[in-house]
Structure formats: structure tokens, C-alpha cells
């Protein structure tokens, strides 16, 4: 199934630009999808479309990698195409996220930030689910950026933008499924499906292995965290996986 809408909204350029602020990215994405769902047929025909990435296959994976700084073994290096095993589903900042003694998270900070995941594609999926939880508490967005994002100029710019914005409370978005678009030893691109009204929106996260754990790659200046956003009528493009 091809995404029907991507980065398209009648709210205009200013609204899309506001999505750059990481503390509101999930809310912005949800509103982008709602606007697409309520468009008429002519608007749908004119909407920008993009080809769906080819299904990921286990054959393109490297050999097993070693342990990260948290001591978790790398484990299976194949791309997950079915729901991974979990020890439990837990609530983190009002978002239900998976936990596994083999995959992570192995540590939780006093502020609720969960980290330390296995150096594997499955570990990157667990980490991506926890990205959604980490940004659900927008009061802690600045601390989250510093802990979660790969350091560099783009993250510095994102930090400055967040420092200049007003906290906007909390917004919880549950994850319904995932799809690994590509994965290598130190990088994984993961699409997550989030419920929105009677359909789903997707966000795309690039996870990088940095300093012994999976971190989130910052978008370039002017880009939005989680973009491109796409609309999906069902979960046929995803591995359904949710604790709710």
C-alpha cells in the first residue's frame, strides 16, 4: 500500500515549519494527517506522493556486532519481520513501550528517560518506540534532545530552537506498528505507525549507534523530526506490534 499523503497540509508553510520544534513534532504530525484525511478527492489527487520503500529483508544484514556500553549483547542481526519477544509492555510518560532483558532498555534515568538497547536492528526498533515516549513529555524536551540525539551542528540548532520555545505540556501518541526500511551495523531507518482517527500516520526515524547506544539522528536545519509524515489506511505496510 502506498502512502497517500506526504508532508502536505492546508495549514500552510508556517504550520509545517512549527513542526521543526521537537517538543511538538508528534502533535504536528497528527494534525498533518487529520488535515489529509478530511481533504476532498481533488485535494487528494493533487497531494504529493512518494514511492514506498521496498520491504526490508534479512539478507542485507551484517555479521553480529558486539556489546554496547550497557553490556547487552548484539544478538540477532536480521531485520525483524514479525513482532519481537518482550518481557513486558510498560508505560513511559503515558506511552506504552516494550521492555526486554535481552534487548533493552537496560537503564531508566530518574527523570524517566529510558536507554541502553542492544546493538541490532531489533534493538533499534525498541529504541524507536522509546523515542516516541521520550518526546511525549514536552516539559522535558530540552533534556531529551541532549540525551537522545546524536551530537552535532544539527542537534545544536535543534537545542537552540527548543531553548527559545515555551514548553507545551504533554502529548501521548501510542505506536501501533513498525517497519524497518533499512539497517546496517550502526544505522537503522524505522517507520512507525501511530493511530490517528480511523487511520494511521507514520513517522520515520533514523537511529544511529553512537557511544554504545542507539541515538536519534537530528534532521537538517529546516527539517522536521519524524518527517516525512505519511497517511496509511491500515497496518498492511507494517509489523503490527503494540501493548495497547
Set of cell numbers at residue 223: 527539517
What integer pLDDT is reported at residue 149 of this predicted model?
A: 87
Is residue 44's pLDDT more than 50?
Answer: no
Least confident piece of the model among 23-37, 122-136, 174-188: 23-37
With cut-offs at 50, 70 and 90, classify the pLDDT of residue 19.
Answer: very low
Q: Average per-residue pLDDT in the chain?
A: 75
CA 199 to chain centre: 18
With cut-offs at 50, 70 and 90, classify the pLDDT of residue 159.
Answer: low
pLDDT > 70 in the chain, percent: 64
At 67-123, the pLDDT tens digits run: 666 789 888 999 999 999 999 999 999 999 999 999 999 999 998 999 999 999 999
Task: Determine the average pLDDT of the residues in 183-204.
Answer: 95
Mapped onto helix, strand or coil, the DSSP state of residue 51 is: coil
Q: Which of 3, 22, 1 is nearest to 230 (CA)?
A: 3
What integer pLDDT is reported at residue 69 of this predicted model?
A: 62
Give kind and range of the element (H or E) at residue 239.
strand 239-240
What integer pLDDT is reported at residue 165 of this predicted model?
A: 58
Return all residues near 194 (Cβ < 8 A) that are at least 6 apart: 26, 29, 30, 132, 173, 174, 175, 176, 200, 201, 202, 203
With cut-offs at 50, 70 and 90, classify the pLDDT of residue 175.
Answer: very high
At 30-41, the pLDDT tens digits run: 333 333 333 333
Let me know: does 133 contact 92? Beta carbons within 8 Å. yes
Amino acid at each position: 500500500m502506498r502512502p497517500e499523503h506526504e508532508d502536505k497540509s492546508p495549514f500552510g508553510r508556517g504550520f509545517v515549519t512549527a513542526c521543526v520544534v521537537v517538543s511538538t513534532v508528534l502533535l504536528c504530525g497528527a494534525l498533518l494527517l487529520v488535515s489529509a484525511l478530511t481533504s476532498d478527492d481533488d485535494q487528494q489527487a493533487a497531494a504529493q506522493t512518494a514511492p514506498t520503500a521496498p520491504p526490508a529483508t534479512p539478507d542485507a544484514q551484517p555479521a553480529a556486532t558486539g556489546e554496547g556500553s550497557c553490556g547487552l549483547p548484539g544478538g540477532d542481526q536480521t531485520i525483524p519481520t514479525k513482532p519481537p519477544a518482550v518481557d513486558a509492555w510498560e508505560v513511559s510518560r503515558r506511552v506504552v513501550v516494550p521492555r526486554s532483558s535481552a534487548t533493552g532498555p537496560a537503564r531508566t534515568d530518574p527523570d524517566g528517560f529510558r536507554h541502553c538497547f542492544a546493538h541490532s536492528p531489533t534493538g533499534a526498533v525498541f529504541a524507536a518506540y522509546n523515542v516516541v515516549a521520550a518526546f511525549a513529555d514536552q516539559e522535558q524536551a530540552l533534556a531529551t534532545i541532549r540525551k537522545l540525539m546524536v551530537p552535532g551542528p544539527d542537534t545544536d540548532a535543534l537545542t537552540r530552537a527548543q531553548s527559545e520555545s515555551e514548553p507545551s505540556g504533554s502529548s501521548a501518541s501510542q505506536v501501533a506498528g513498525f517497519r524497518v526500511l533499512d539497517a546496517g551495523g550502526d544505522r537503522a531507518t524505522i517507520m512507525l505507525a501511530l493511530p490517528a482517527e480511523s487511520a494511521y500516520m507514520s513517522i520515520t526515524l533514523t537511529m544511529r549507534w553512537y557511544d554504545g547506544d542507539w541515538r536519534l539522528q537530528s534532521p537538517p536545519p529546516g527539517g522536521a523530526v519524524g518527517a516525512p509524515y505519511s497517511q496509511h489506511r491500515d497496518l498492511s505496510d507494517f509489523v503490527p506490534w503494540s501493548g495497547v
